[in-house]
Structure 1
């Protein structure tokens, strides 16, 4: 073992080579710092009681208890060998465990009645009994009294030898500590393996240099880093553990905020095409003919955006708002402001269906203001061009010509716009719809298409609301604007859960309700979780709660099957359409156009209509197997109806069990139409990555301890300190340790660029 150990020391130089390799394979820990920044899952306190209800069968547990009974029974193995099975009763406070050793002849002398021992094994249940079969053990207090050498088996025996070394050096025994750390284990690495590795590393670790100034430590009441790394694993009190954990989460938060702050400053270094409002341009003409007034929220947000666009510093703004809150008209007016300055705008959508929908709706809103070069166009007109990957060669060539010559003022498209072959005449603004569908690199490739070294302004829109503290982390290089009110004319949407398993008659009522709406001149969506019997669960959805697993659950309803059933059954005589992701783009477009034009009454679809699709006459949204979708996804689907001044109805059909988690989630969706409330619920119930998606950069994915859901207060404090540090030391020249942490988060190439002043 090396004599000089730092947090950068490779584990193989500190630990047994085999253990170091197993830890690296199981957890990706390569250095001492990696190991020490992985905190215990919990701490086992002496005298702490187990709650039987919290014990999960198959879970690995550690108990400290007294052997109260001991019985043996002889038996013969299949190979004809004579064995002695030992059965112990171990009481851990008021919880009793049955501990069984099938080869217990020697063990019975080590664990007589009255022995206090630690047992580590996998819980099983038999009737009302909690069983541990052949667990590892460590004798803490023998019936012969203290002072004897610790005895044990497996990894606990190895840990006992380490504890004996510590005892010999005058330190406290590991097993007499008030709090014993318990780590998340794997098949090849136990909690005790990790504890032994941590203790070995801490004993050899030289004092760790703190990357934070004394002023930051004092202002935040933070524990020093060296103390935190040690007390996070071997605390004397719960307060010690909490303070140490807080300090290590703060370190991740400030490194992330320094990275995001550096990105904001890096973008601001490059000039942007200033585009002030013109009183006589196409934007003014559009505002003069709009048949409605903007809400107070829309007006305020548009003013923020307009002010940004008028500057020669690149705008970086996130516009998030409720489903149907009117983000599109705000984005259109912002784009027209840039068009008035003689520049182009791009609206980037995640799917061809949504891109086509945006092109159609922008063209309709503009009317003759969007028909530049055509007979009858207004004097101030611009041109709106669509570019998608599925266009014919001739269509694509014509679109590219309009883009490169500047004839197209607004370009709508998908990932095809990111391709190197797409050149713009003078790109001034990039609008990204549904940011969580795009990664940071995709966004930045479009920004690199500015003219003469300028960086286009950026407006990111999402209808999946994210609480502000979380948006500050995920989109920390963007300013945040919110639309939290609905425009006039939007009617409330009524949502009901239809329990198909328990009340199958209600499903027939669903189809009757759809027919009633169609007969009243309205239209309906019916959304399924899969296309046909060969496809799996809902894309982007959930697999249902734990309460819904089992062989008695009916298979998911497939769009193809339901379309055929409804066409000849409950909805026979109505005009039904089918749309899903495997259809050719032109067929999807024609189906969607037919539905929008009123040539179809009912659209049976998968989630390709989740966002952006706008059919004002649609009043009913039926979601089959609704429990297989996330909360925010259901809210998005619900937002497709009630957009034309008519009341909307959303019916969530499910086979989930009453009283289960899935039914509880659906009830929450039915109870509120507040997207921000539902987004918070979604973040709590599901993994952050599932909700935030590609909005997470590599930096967020690399966080070990910080939770963007739970650690909002830590993040806000860290952001303030990060801004102060960057204001006084933008290159982090005076903070080399912090610069190294940022480099690890971002990668060396980006770090070199960000801090090159």
Structure 2
């Protein structure tokens, strides 16, 4: 095993210095072991042939033909120069064409010799041809296996003969010489329980399969192993945090919680909210550090659950903090929580980048004395000048917007780390929650408060804009309000602004004063101007809010019934779902209008169709995962957790569940994997951890 892991790829026969350098830069293949982990992305069944007369049934698909070369000729001049060969089988004739490498290929094309041809047929009028086919003398074909592995390559690799076929030759050569060199690292009981083939067999058959069943067994084994170690690391980290990090003990519910719950709670909690509050309460009274993720769709009532959790802390003599990613969201939380707690003697304060220096001084003094019970703010909470008297609980809203290092600073705000409640309104597919938050306990609010009506989502092309304007006028006549959101072009704030202002001018012409009042909000405005415009809309003084995505989260105007999203194709699914959640917060029927241009990519169509067909955030998240992949969804700051060459979190959820169960079984018997029979497991965990960031103290 050490030989495979430590030997540079140059030492494999047929590679050498130049190819080795290319494999390293183009495919991240440094050692022999990396080549074994460079897996095929598909397989071709080399036992299936079609006749030339059947080609109309296979247009655009790769096919395999068996026949002879009738004649070869060079045609054209300059850039149009090409090599053309007539190829025939018992059913017809087709042209084979090469635009590059003609001299080298011409010498191989012996008329009358039986060849196998592989490539994609294309029709030109009534004639068919295959450009740049793979062509092999049939006497060589007899030596090949039934399935051929197909590998990703690049233009630079291909120029040096490392196209798919070239890489296949290298992996075949290496896989054929590894007998006895690949150690088994999974315990015998895991292999038996999950019917896994050996590690050595898996690495051989994934590159050199005899039949489809070989591929399936090999892929399952390797995916299982990748996901097993991912989950084992997360569960080990969770156990270590629980053991090492003692938490503050909130022994009683306290008078504030009891008074608020019995007399001032604005509405009956849903069963899901009650269940989550109990889960949090159970954590807080244990005396171990709480690290909990609270998932809930837009409007499910996460803020109220967070408030009840903070009341537990206050009732036990601790302060709480709530950190939000934007000033608008922080202000919204402050307004909501301050209003809810007004009947109680609880001091709630707000700290953002806009808080004046004179106000900060007073706030900091009150905070250190313990006179402020709940501090709500943005990144400003992380500043070294912010010191608490006794911080016991931190709530992080929309946590994926905060970097790892930023969140880690919260741990230093008290002698022991405060309890952490991480909230997200962006539904996370189960596979991602088990992976990126596998070391957290997860609570899900999976029902909406009673009375919330589903939002009707409709798609309109630009040519139907007048119909949309009619809907706006109709809703305004009923006393409702409208959001119109323009996309954020991150590369250019100027472009954002121009795009927004053109839309604003167009809306102003179609909805003129004094019959209609329009607010505008964008990222270049001063915070106080943004707050004023938001306040005007919230009070109902303006009918239409034209904005960029600054209103994606936190804005709560129950009277707003229509969300119009311009250039929908430029938004991700998660963002579209968040924006839709800004309406439907009152008792009235609400609409989300998706506006797009006439031409939509396949991905754009899929996003629009998904939004129109469902309001279920978790279903939307699953589609988003399929489209974008886990790295994009969770953010670059967490991409280091993944070490997957073959497993796919979008499609391998079942394998992930099995792997997590297996990891739990191991740790139930051997919590620190110290038993001699788990020695190889322990070594592999250490090896993998060397290449990953240390997040043992980050929520």
Q: Write out per-residue CA displacement over residues 353-374 of structure 1, whole angstroms, 9 at most, x where no aligned residue.
A: 21222122211222243xxxxx
Aligned to 1:21: 21
- CA–CA distance in structure 1, aligned partners of residues 71 and 103 of structure 2: 11
Q: TM-score scaled to structure 1, two decimals?
A: 0.82
Give 1:198's match in structure 2, choosing from 148, 171, 184. 171
Aligned to 2:205: 231
* Counterpart secondary structure, 1:476: coil
Q: Write out per-residue CA displacement over residues 655-683 of structure 1, whole angstroms, 9 at most, x where no aligned residue.
A: 24589663453233223222222222222
1:304 and 1:134, CA in 2 relative to 1: closer, same or farther beyond 3 A? closer
Give 2:570's match in structure 1, choosing from 615, 618, 628. 628
* Contact 1:656/1:663 (<8 A) preserved: no
In the TM superposition, 1:731-746 aligns within 5 A as 731-733=672-674, 734=676, 735-746=678-689
Aligned to 2:356: 392
- CA–CA distance in structure 2, aligned partners of residues 642 and 513 of structure 1: 16
Aligned to 1:260: 234
Give 1:180's match in structure 2, choosing from 148, 154, 158. 148
* Contact 1:566/1:572 (<8 A) preserved: no
1:476: how far off? Answer: 0.7
Aligned to 2:321: 346
Q: How many residues align?
A: 681
* Contact 2:489/2:495 (<8 A) preserved: no
1:119: how far off? Answer: 5.6
* Counterpart secondary structure, 1:298: helix
Aligned to 1:451: 414
1:226 and 1:76, CA in 2 relative to 1: closer, same or farther beyond 3 A? closer
31-40 or 416-425, larger mean C-alpha shift: 416-425
Aligned to 1:328: 303
Q: Write out per-residue CA displacement over residues 458-489 of structure 1, whole angstroms, 9 at most, x where no aligned residue.
A: 21211122233431122111222222221133
- CA–CA distance in structure 1, aligned partners of residues 217 and 93 of structure 2: 31
129-138 or 457-466, larger mean C-alpha shift: 129-138
* Counterpart secondary structure, 2:412: coil
1:106 and 1:237, CA in 2 relative to 1: closer, same or farther beyond 3 A? closer
* Contact 1:431/1:460 (<8 A) preserved: yes
1:121 and 1:508, CA in 2 relative to 1: closer, same or farther beyond 3 A? same
- 5+ long unaligned stretches in structure 2: 158-162
Aligned to 1:216: 190
- CA–CA distance in structure 1, aligned partners of residues 605 and 500 of structure 2: 22
1:218: how far off? Answer: 0.8
1:86 and 1:383, CA in 2 relative to 1: closer, same or farther beyond 3 A? same
RMSD: 3.4
1:594 equivalent to 2:536? Answer yes
Give 2:448's match in structure 1, choosing from 472, 486, 495. 486
* Counterpart secondary structure, 2:155: coil
In the TM superposition, 1:363-512 aligns within 5 A as 363-369=338-344, 381-446=345-410, 448-452=411-415, 454-500=416-462, 504=463, 506-512=464-470
Aligned to 1:550: none
Q: Write out per-residue CA displacement over residues 72-131 of structure 1, whole angstroms, 9 at most, x where no aligned residue.
A: 44557459x9x9943233679999663336775785563245544456779877557665
- CA–CA distance in structure 2, aligned partners of residues 4 and 525 of structure 1: 61
* Contact 2:300/2:447 (<8 A) preserved: yes
1:30 and 1:483, CA in 2 relative to 1: closer, same or farther beyond 3 A? same
1:714: how far off? Answer: 1.2
- CA–CA distance in structure 1, aligned partners of residues 623 and 74 of structure 2: 56
Aligned to 2:511: 570
Aligned to 1:297: 272
1:512: how far off? Answer: 2.9
Aligned to 1:515: 473
Q: Write out per-residue CA displacement over residues 41-85 of structure 1, whole angstroms, 9 at most, x where no aligned residue.
A: 1111123368978876xxxx9764334453344557459x9x994
* Contact 1:435/1:695 (<8 A) preserved: no
Aligned to 2:160: none
Aligned to 2:330: 355
- CA–CA distance in structure 2, aligned partners of residues 417 and 52 of structure 1: 66
* Contact 1:260/1:477 (<8 A) preserved: yes
1:358 and 1:291, CA in 2 relative to 1: closer, same or farther beyond 3 A? closer
- CA–CA distance in structure 2, aligned partners of residues 119 and 67 of structure 1: 8
Q: TM-score scaled to structure 2, two decimals?
A: 0.88
* Contact 1:7/1:208 (<8 A) preserved: no
* Counterpart secondary structure, 2:4: coil
1:525 equivalent to 2:483? Answer yes
* Counterpart secondary structure, 2:39: coil
* Contact 1:635/1:675 (<8 A) preserved: yes
Give 1:311's match in structure 2, choosing from 276, 283, 286. 286
Aligned to 1:553: none
1:31: how far off? Answer: 2.0
Q: Write out per-residue CA displacement over residues 172-214 of structure 1, whole angstroms, 9 at most, x where no aligned residue.
A: x895111111101111222123223323332443521111111
1:284: how far off? Answer: 2.7
- CA–CA distance in structure 1, aligned partners of residues 57 and 318 of structure 2: 64
- CA–CA distance in structure 2, aligned partners of residues 358 and 560 of structure 1: 29
- CA–CA distance in structure 2, aligned partners of residues 428 and 387 of structure 1: 18
* Counterpart secondary structure, 2:71: strand
- CA–CA distance in structure 1, aligned partners of residues 330 and 126 of structure 2: 59
1:333: how far off? Answer: 0.8
1:138: how far off? Answer: 3.5
Aligned to 1:166: none
* Contact 1:282/1:336 (<8 A) preserved: yes
* Contact 1:314/1:456 (<8 A) preserved: yes
* Counterpart secondary structure, 1:430: strand
- 5+ long unaligned stretches in structure 1: 142-149, 151-172, 370-380, 539-555
Give 2:97's match in structure 1, choosing from 96, 99, 121. 99
* Counterpart secondary structure, 1:99: strand
